[in-house]
Amino acid sequence: MGKRLYRSRKEKVIGGVAGGIADYFSIDPTLVRILFVVTVFAGGSGILAYIILWIVIPEEPLVFDTAENKNSDTEVQDEKINEHLNAINAQRQKRRVFFGVALVILGMFFLAGNLIPHIDFFDLFPVILIIIGISLLVTSRS
């Protein structure tokens, strides 16, 4: 059976799409991420493409080391599985909070643009990107 395309569990920033594509083509995930960013600024189609790929591409299946599992008892196996599932749930929670905050901020800018006619959202878009970038850098250090 040939190589399958999956969203990456290891090389994941948002949904693992870029990491999965990079793994499939054996290239650096950063290059794929840069390509998505360039397409966002070249007409906005990158966001739509990423969301569609996030929905369509399945997540990489979990693989547990079977040799290690044969030598250990079931309690240790269950503990490892629970730790892994807890880590996945913690990552999902962080992503939900991040996207929730991002949506609230975007909603506030759109609302301000409707209520105060002198504010143009596209003039503030670079400020939004800078704020999001700073928050990502701050949260990545902790």
pLDDT tens, residue by residue, 49-98: 888 888 888 888 877 655 554 555 677 777 888 888 888 877 777 777 77
Q: List the structure tokens of 121.
A: 């959202």
Whether residues 86 and 123 share a domain: the answer is: yes
Q: Which residue segment(s) compose the domain that 116 sits in?
A: 65-142
116: confidence class by pLDDT, cuts 50, 70, 90: confident
Q: Tell which residue, 36, 14, 46, 50, has the closest CA to residue 132.
A: 14
Domain closes at, from 11, 28, 61: 61
Whether residues 106 and 132 share a domain: the answer is: yes
| Stretch (H or E) spanning 115 | helix 74-115
Count of the separate structural domains present in the chain: 2
Model pLDDT, residue 64: 66
Model pLDDT, residue 83: 83
Mean pLDDT, range 121-141, rounded to an integer: 73
**Predicted model pTM:** 0.46
Q: To the nearest whole percent, how much of the chain has pLDDT over 90?
A: 0
- How many angstroms separate the CA atoms of 54 and 16, rounded? 8
Q: Point out which residues pair with 59 in neighbouring strands.
A: 7
Asked if residues 102 and 94 have their Cβ atoms less than 8 Å apart, the reply is no
